[in-house]
């Protein structure tokens, strides 16, 4: 199949993933379009990281199909388009002495340029990424001296320097304070609106991700909700979507499985 400019960064059809004999993802269908900021939420063990690792090609799937930019197999046209910020990526050990600029420079390395001096193009990519991440004033500082939010922005800048267009982030909000969290969410929003990046971000901070993302997905083995972030179901509706039964009889007085169509929910 030919890649063309209109192919979405991600198209998943009926994906089933089994890990150590247990089915972790079932029948997952998901398309993410260019420039979207999608929040991926769900309970511990719900399969969020598994989904990201499968998209990245690190885990095999039992059934289904994954297309990246219209391709089901890695090719020169998709090379370098994906960037991944793993869980705890910003927990860089204190004994590693690395400046922000050096960390971001690492993002430009690949097998073809690894042992050559940095060229003009690489320097340009690094400077642009640092600028975009708002880290110019600390570019020569040691990464370990940065705040949690700055460190997160630095690891994301490393991915930006690689020219990735579709960025997958696993829990970047863990362990950072409120101010850092707010600045990180604004930065991610800017990446979509000003730099036309596409973002799929896992978080347990539903309130924060609802504020910043365009669309939210609730994953618990299957996709239980996929729709606009501002229509994300409240706790009672979510319990229904997840098949959690009321324990107290009067819980029925709360809203029922209600206007799911209105909320854009899928089951």
Ligand X SMILES: Nc1ncnc2c1ncn2[C@@H]1O[C@H](COP(=O)(O)OP(=O)(O)OP(=O)(O)O)[C@@H](O)[C@H]1O
* Smallest separation, CB 161 to ligand X (Å): 27
Cα separation, 12 vs 66, in Å, equals 5
* Smallest separation, CB 136 to ligand X (Å): 33
CA angle 78, 80, 86 (to 5 degrees): 120
Cα separation, 168 vs 51, in Å, equals 11
Residue (of 31, 37, 40) closest to 7 by Cα position? 31
Q: Based on CB atoms, which residue is closest to ligand X, 174 or 239?
A: 174
User: With CB cut-offs between 5 and 8 Å by kind, which of ligand X, Mg ion, none does residue 95 bind?
Assistant: none
* Smallest separation, CB 243 to ligand X (Å): 17
User: With CB cut-offs between 5 and 8 Å by kind, which of Mg ion, ligand X, none does residue 78 bind?
Assistant: none
User: With CB cut-offs between 5 and 8 Å by kind, which of ligand X, Mg ion, none does residue 47 bind?
Assistant: ligand X
Tokens of 204: 């347990």
User: With CB cut-offs between 5 and 8 Å by kind, which of ligand X, Mg ion, none does residue 227 bind?
Assistant: none
Of the listed pieces 17-25, 62-70, 119-127, 128-136, which binds ligand X according to CB under 6 A? 17-25
Cα separation, 136 vs 157, in Å, equals 11
Q: Based on CB atoms, which residue is closest to Mg ion, 47 or 70?
A: 47
Q: Based on CB atoms, which residue is closest to ligand X, 25 or 192?
A: 25
* Smallest separation, CB 89 to Mg ion (Å): 13
* Smallest separation, CB 133 to Mg ion (Å): 24
Size of the site for ligand X (CB under 6 A): 11
**Binding of residue 49 to Mg ion (CB under 5 A):** yes
| Alpha-carbon dihedral sign for residues 217, 221, 224, 226 | positive
Cα separation, 42 vs 67, in Å, equals 23
Q: Based on CB atoms, which residue is closest to ligand X, 43 or 80?
A: 43
Q: Based on CB atoms, which residue is closest to Mg ion, 57 or 74?
A: 57
Of the listed pieces 22-30, 43-51, 204-212, 253-261, which binds Mg ion according to CB under 5 A? 43-51
Identify the residue whose tokens are 């370098």: 80
- Site string (18-57) toward ligand X, x via CB under 6 A: -xx---x-----------------x-xxxxxxx-------
Backbone angles phi, psi at 71, to 5 degrees: -115, 140
Binding site for Mg ion (CB under 5 A): 48-49
Residues engaged in binding ligand X (CB under 6 A):
19-20, 24, 42, 44-50
């Amino acid at each position: 199949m030919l890649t063309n400019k209109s192919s979405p960064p991600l198209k998943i059809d009926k994906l089933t993933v089994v890990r150590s004999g247990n089915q972790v993802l079932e029948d997952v269908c998901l398309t993410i379009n260019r420039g979207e900021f999608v929040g991926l939420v769900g309970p511990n063990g719900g399969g969020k990281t598994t989904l990201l690792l499968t998209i990245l090609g690190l885990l095999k799937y039992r059934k289904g199909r994954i297309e990246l930019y219209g391709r089901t197999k890695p090719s020169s046209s998709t090379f370098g388009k994906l960037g991944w910020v793993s869980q705890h990526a910003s927990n860089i050990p204190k004994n590693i002495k690395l400046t922000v600029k050096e960390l971001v420079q690492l993002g430009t390395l690949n097998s073809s340029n690894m042992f050559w001096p940095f060229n003009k193009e690489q320097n340009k990519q690094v400077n642009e990424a640092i600028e975009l991440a708002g880290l110019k004033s600390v570019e020569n500082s040691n990464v370990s001296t940065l705040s949690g939010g700055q460190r997160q922005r630095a690891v994301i800048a490393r991915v930006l320097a690689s020219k990735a267009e579709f960025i997958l982030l696993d829990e970047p909000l863990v362990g950072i304070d409120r101010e850092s969290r707010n600045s990180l969410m604004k930065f991610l929003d800017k990446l979509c609106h000003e730099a036309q990046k596409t973002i799929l971000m896992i978080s347990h901070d539903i309130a924060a991700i609802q504020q910043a993302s365009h669309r939210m997905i609730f994953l618990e083995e299957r996709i239980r909700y996929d729709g606009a972030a501002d229509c994300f179901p409240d706790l009672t509706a979510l319990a229904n979507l997840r098949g959690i039964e009321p324990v107290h009889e009067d819980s029925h007085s709360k809203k029922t499985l209600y206007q799911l169509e209105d909320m854009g929910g899928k089951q």
